[in-house]
């Protein structure tokens, strides 16, 4: 394991990545063997799912990731949004389960993400093994940061990492979207919507003044 002094990817950096990420993803040019994906076999749930039902991953359609792929996805989620003094990591609240369900869904947008995500997870393991002799999920914190640093800013990625950087950007978007819609993520953002208030005082005067409303 790494020492307490090992650099880590902090949450503010993850948010900056999320805001700077590209809105779309092209298929990776570099593919690892054994990462092909069949067409999702589930059916769309229709226009009116049961909103009072607590759906679990796999309830609506078969999931995609193998146990090994899930380990890699969980490690990547934890690297993108690690635990800190305010909230848990993305992996600890099951964001990799969300990603698995996302790429397994029988809808066009999700199906476009399916093969690139599988190829990217395979690339992460292959590259980790090439550099460090271990799968991505088994790297220590310093090794994880070293690898992610080569991918985290797509415009500046070296040519040999261009395709992997696109995968990383999409994974970052999915991880951030999955995490910040969980109770833990909304708490980390200090979101206070959907809560009863004894009274509503409105925006503070300094905000109204800045907006020119008073």
Q: What is the DSSP string of the chain?
A: ---TTS----HHHHHHHHHHS-S--PPPSS--TT---PPP------S---TTS---TTSSS-----HHHHHHHHHHHHHHS---SSS--TGGGTHHHHHHHHHHSSSHHHHHHHHHHHHHHHHHHHHHHHHHSS-GGG--HHHHHHHHHTTSSGGGS-GGGHHHHHHHHHHHHHHHHHHTTSHHHHHHTT--TT---S----S-HHHHHHTT--
pLDDT value, residue 24: 35
Residue-wise pLDDT tens digits, 75-115: 999 999 999 988 999 999 999 999 999 999 999 989 999 99
CA torsion, ordered 202, 206, 208, 211, to nearest 10 deg: -150
For range 166-174, the mean pLDDT: 97
pLDDT of 95 reads 96
pLDDT in tens, 133-158: 999 999 999 999 999 999 999 999 99
29-71 tens-digit pLDDT: 334 444 455 566 666 666 666 777 777 878 888 999 999 999 9
Rg value, the chain, Cα: 19
> What's the average model confidence in pLDDT over 107-124?
95
pTM here is 0.71
């Amino acid at each position: 394991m790494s020492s307490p002094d090992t650099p880590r990817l902090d949450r503010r950096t993850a948010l900056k990545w999320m805001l700077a990420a590209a809105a779309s993803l092209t298929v990776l040019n570099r593919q690892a063997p054994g990462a092909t994906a069949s067409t999702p076999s589930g059916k769309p749930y229709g226009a009116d799912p049961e909103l009072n039902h607590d759906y679990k991953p796999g309830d609506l359609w078969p999931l995609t990731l193998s146990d090994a792929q899930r380990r890699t996805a969980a490690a990547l989620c934890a690297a993108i949004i690690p635990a800190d003094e305010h909230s848990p990591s993305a992996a600890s609240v099951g964001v990799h389960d969300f990603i698995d369900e996302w790429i397994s869904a029988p809808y066009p947008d999700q199906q476009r993400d399916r093969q690139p995500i599988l190829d990217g997870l395979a690339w992460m393991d292959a590259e980790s093994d090439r550099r460090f002799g271990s799968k991505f999920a088994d790297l220590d914190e310093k090794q994880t940061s070293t690898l992610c640093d080569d991918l985290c800013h797509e415009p500046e990625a070296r040519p040999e990492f261009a395709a992997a950087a696109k995968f990383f950007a999409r994974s970052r978007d999915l991880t951030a979207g999955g995490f910040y819609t969980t109770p833990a993520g909304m708490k980390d953002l200090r979101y206070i919507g959907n809560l009863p208030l004894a009274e509503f005082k409105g925006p503070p005067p300094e905000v109204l003044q800045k907006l020119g409303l008073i």
